[in-house]
Structure 1
Amino acid sequence: MTDEIVAGTVTITGHGGDELEAYLAKPTDETPRGGVVVIHHMPGYDAATKEIVRRFAVGGYNALCPNLYTREAPGADPDDAAATVRAAGGVPDDRLVGDVSGAADYLRALENANGRVGVIGYCSGGRQAFLAGCSLDLDAAVDCYGAFVVNDPPAGMGMTMKPLLGLTPQLSCPLLGIFGADDQYPGPDEVAVLAAELEKHGKEHEFHTYAGAGHAFFAVDRPSYRPEAAKDGWERIFDFYARTLTA
């Protein structure tokens, strides 16, 4: 843990060579550290997500969150940018992979990087963290209640994303899953299907499901926040990264 961090906006190279806004936070000392790519939720590149980035820096990691909505709504209010992207059906999967790859490259190039990079995402970002872990060479992935990994989105939701279960054999790294027992997307049945598929292919994983918690229980600014579940979830995330991102 460290109280001395530096944080601010940087520019990274994402999918197709596009320049993206991103938020970086890192400890100020020169000790070699692992990196964490934080994938923001569908509400966007907002203050709550930036606080998560800073939390990882205080926890001893270099952390970076790319603004996945830079192309559609550069400089826009997070809510407006999210509405624009949602109306377009969400972030395309291939573009997401390219953007996370660019973020991982940026972290690996930092002077105090130890070469290890993990990814974490919440809600839609949880699905995208699983996608990144199956598409890139990473050292760890954390899926916080990522929906539509197993099933299609419901008709009428307007999302174009497809299930990712078939990518499971390609998972490149250990996976930590954090879920709520009262969640609908993903429901406990979907979590069980994913766990079985990971087991079938011999993929290292650990899943934790919290009773009395629904979707977005980490979100301190929402009624869905569940302090006990969130506290235990954070402890498990930091323990997981200590085992996977320490050289």
Structure 2
Amino acid sequence: MSDAIRAETVFIGDEQIQAYQARPLDPGPFPGVVLIHHLPGWDEANKEMVRKFAAHGYSAICPNLFWREAPNASPDDASAFVRGQGGVPDEQVIKDVATAAAALRALDNANGKVGAIGHCSGGRQTLLVSTAVDLDAAVDCYGAFALEAPPSGSGLNFTPIKDRLPDVRCPVLGLFGDDDKFPAPDEVGRLAELMAQHGKSFEYHSYEGAGHAFFAVDRPSYRPQAAVDGWQRVFAFFGKHLAA
């Protein structure tokens, strides 16, 4: 397989949702990955992750979840506006991710399998969409407010999704930091217990010395050792569940 990829902004579905896509140029077939961006928005860090997946043999796409609320705005401005609205409604996220997954499956070099991954709010939303979208695997990277509502004063309207967990449709990998507060280790433990009670496949790992956003190379929270191990686990997990 060559290392040639094509990366570009595309418009998908009947609504022509703005999205960033990168895909290998070989005939394939290749699995797909939907990247759900974090609350800071559809930014360069997420687009770089999309290209990383393409370089590893995945067709990847990151829909701009804020395109309706803040069209043509910068990631910072769009994020500020959406934060002021309390976030994007869950059902809207589900709809947009389903559209992105369908776009990946429609590619001429697709193998038909699609996973999803997200960090922070995107981690919560990845767990959310795993209950409502036909995915083959999902990776929740320190998704906050899955079991508990955001603290008062945060301005966020996220609703806990623990009642949806019986509907999870695919294996889930969770990657967390021991020093994180949202979600804190006790919440991660309760999530694991609930997934087990519902008979769901939930593999998770929590890193000592890592807090929230330890994957973020452009932030002081970056923890190289945890991030490198986390990426290895992500590719092993997707390799297991998304292979043709």
1:82-97 aligned within 5 A: 82-97=79-94
Give the superposition deviation at 1:18. 2.5
Give the AA of the match of 2:69: E
Give the superposition deviation at 1:136. 1.1
Correspondence for 1:163 among 154, 160, 165: 160
Once the two structures are overlaid, the 10-residue window that deviates more, 97-106 or 159-168, is 159-168
Say whether the 8 Å CA contact 2:2–2:26 is kept in structure 1: no
TM-score by length of 2: 0.99
Give the superposition deviation at 1:191. 0.2
Correspondence for 1:238 among 226, 235, 239: 235
Matched, 1:65 2:62: yes
Give the superposition deviation at 1:74. 1.2
Correspondence for 1:180 among 177, 181, 186: 177
Residue segments in structure 2 that go unaligned for 5+ positions in a row: none
TM-score by length of 1: 0.97
1:13-162 aligned within 5 A: 13=13, 17-162=14-159
Say whether the 8 Å CA contact 2:23–2:58 is kept in structure 1: yes
Q: Which residue in the other structure is 1:9 paired with? A: 9
The percentage of counterpart residues that share the same residue type is: 58
Say whether the 8 Å CA contact 1:2–1:58 is kept in structure 2: no
For these two proteins, the number of residue pairs brought into alignment is: 244
Give the superposition deviation at 1:2. 5.0
Q: Which residue in the other structure is 2:210 paired with? A: 213
Q: Evaluate the alpha carbon distance shift between residue 106 and residue 43 of structure 1 in structure 2; reply closer, same or farther with a 3 A threshold.
A: same
Say whether the 8 Å CA contact 1:179–1:210 is kept in structure 2: yes
Once the two structures are overlaid, the 10-residue window that deviates more, 174-183 or 72-81, is 72-81
RMSD in angstroms over aligned alpha carbons?
Answer: 0.8
- Moved beyond 3 Å, runs of 4+: none
Say whether the 8 Å CA contact 1:198–1:205 is kept in structure 2: yes
Say whether the 8 Å CA contact 1:2–1:60 is kept in structure 2: no
Give the AA of the match of 1:205: F
- SS state at 1:134 partner: coil
Give the AA of the match of 2:10: V
Correspondence for 2:190 among 193, 205, 212: 193
